[in-house]
Amino acid sequence: MELNNLKKQFGNQAEIYSKYRQPYPAELYAFFFSLLPVGEKTILDIACGPGNSTRSLVKEDTKVFGCDIDPMMIEQAKKEAKENNLDIQYVVAEAEHLPYADGTFDAITVGTAFHWFVNQTALTEIKRVLKPSGLFFAFWTMNKNDIRVEDDQVLQVFRSYNWPRVPQELRDLTYISDFLKQQGLQKVSVANIPIAHTETLEERVNLEKTNAGYNLLAEGDREKFVDSLRAVLKASLGSKESFLIQEELQISYGFKA
């Protein structure tokens, strides 16, 4: 399936996405803000989903906006912003057509979503709405002990359902950094932040429901997939109470000329 269609398969999972996707660590946002000048800042989070990557951008000196192509994701994001008393302006929009004036933002972030729009049209729009010297900051998580790779039985479950995967190059630091340079961003750099957390069996199963591949399954296959995945994960877990998930936050960023 083409990426353009695959990226539109998340809306039905907005609530579970918000619950089971891990929040990004404070170290990430500390690094992000260290790259910005002191003073008031206007920030846009593109492909914000239900706001997991957006809420930590809210500070006393920031005005925060978020956009996503899926109305259900934006509805969930607005709901959670209201519940947490956060002033975030959310709209439905795609990266290739941003509904903002030229030079609006001091910084633009993209959390584990840039692979959906690594294209010239999107970068042209991003540069258009950035202020001069504005920061573009893309980041994503990469598992260092991916259960799918380590356990062939788990991997076989995904294979049996023709589970789609994003091309690896679109989540490769060198590839993304070279792309940003080609699109005219300046001072392009990379960074890595190691992170680790635990996941119970049920958390791991529900996490897989947040992926686009799950929404592509026929309704009758979803329960079968979950049952099969739970069985092999339980066997993989053995007597342990939870999986140790070791990841790395990979960051590629640059500045508008």
User: pLDDT tens across 92-104, in order?
Assistant: 999 999 999 999 9
Q: What is the pLDDT of residue 76?
A: 93
**Tokens 């893309």, located at residue:** 138
Token pair for 173: 């630091």
Within 8 A by CB and 6+ apart from 165, the residues are 213
Q: From the options 3.40.50.150, 1.10.357.10, 3.20.20.140, 3.40.50.300, give the CATH code of 3-144+165-197+245-255.
A: 3.40.50.150
Domain ranges within the chain, ordered by starting residue: 3-144+165-197+245-255
Would you put residue 113 in left (φ > 0), alpha (ψ -120 to 50) or beta? Answer: alpha
Contacts of 5 (CB under 8 A, 6+ apart): none
Percent of the chain with pLDDT over 70: 92
pLDDT tens-place string over residues 173-219: 999 999 999 999 999 999 999 998 899 999 989 988 888 788 888 88
Exposed/middle/buried for residue 235 (C-beta within 10 Å: 0-12, 13-18, 19+): exposed
Whole-angstrom Cα distance, residue 28 to residue 112?
13
